[in-house]
Structure 1
Amino acid sequence: MNYETAYKLLVGQTIGSEENPDALLTRMKYGKPPVPGQITSILLALKVVFEAVKDSPSLDKELVYALYQLTVKAQQLFIAGRKAGIDWPPLLKEDLLRIALASESIFSGVWQTLPPSNV
């Protein structure tokens, strides 16, 4: 995956459209879990973007907005869904934390990872 593809994938996951009715935020808004492989693709795209911009002094506004939505909005939709009784997939909360850490990594220029869980 190259930077352009990763960029488009991340932005596309925040905007539901006729071309992409399965955008992550759209699915979560309607109480649907991610499609298989969707989180993996997002995490890969985040890593590609990180590698491309880690030494950059500034970021594209559209990219920043997509990162914000994938981090903050996804968490809000997860919590709202839980309160509404949606039974999210067991690893979705941890996956959303990974997305948040990857977004933080893009902002800081230093790759962050979750500590190993004690499960």
Structure 2
Amino acid sequence: MNYEIARKLLIDQTKNDANPDALLNRLRQGKSPVPGQITSILLALKVVFETLKDANSLDKELALSLYKLGIRGLQLFATGRKAGVDWPPLLQEDLQRISLASESIFSGMWETSAI
């Protein structure tokens, strides 16, 4: 996966109207991610990190998508849990990994655990 494909994948996962199977759309509907979706997102985040780790700025569209993946994914998970959604056992940890990877892109240092 190259940077342009990774960037597009991350942006597409956060658009409300682009894809009903986008991660945030699925979480909003109380549905689990499609098989392989989390792995693809994590790979894309790593590719974007490697490309931009020394960059001083990010484009707005990518920055917004990183924010949404890092923050809104966990918020939607919590909202679903409160509403009684039976999420897969490792989904919360997967969303935390996405959040850390998104943070890593902003910091320029790959984060592996929460503080």
Q: Same fold by TM-score, threshold 0.5 exceeded?
A: yes
Structure 2 counterpart of 1:64: 63
Q: d(CA) in 1 for partners of 2:111 and 2:8?
A: 22
The residue type paired with residue 94 of structure 1 is E
Mapping for residues 1-119 of structure 1, pairs under 5 Å: 1-17=1-17, 20-114=19-113
Confirm or deny: 8 A CA contact 1:43 1:102 kept in the other structure: yes
After superposing on structure 2, the runs of 4+ consecutive aligned residues of structure 1 that deviate more than 3 Å are none
Secondary structure at the aligned position of 1:56 is classed as coil
Q: d(CA) in 2 for partners of 1:105 and 1:71?
A: 10
What are structure 2's unaligned runs of at least 5 residues?
none
The residue type paired with residue 34 of structure 1 is P
Query: What is the TM-score normalised by the length of structure 1?
Result: 0.92
- Cα deviation code 1:6-35 (max 9, x no counterpart): 000000000133x52200000000000000
Confirm or deny: 8 A CA contact 1:16 1:22 kept in the other structure: no
Q: d(CA) in 2 for partners of 1:23 and 1:103?
A: 17
Query: What is the TM-score normalised by the length of structure 2?
Result: 0.95
Secondary structure at the aligned position of 2:19 is classed as coil
Percent of aligned positions with the same letter in both sequences? Answer: 68
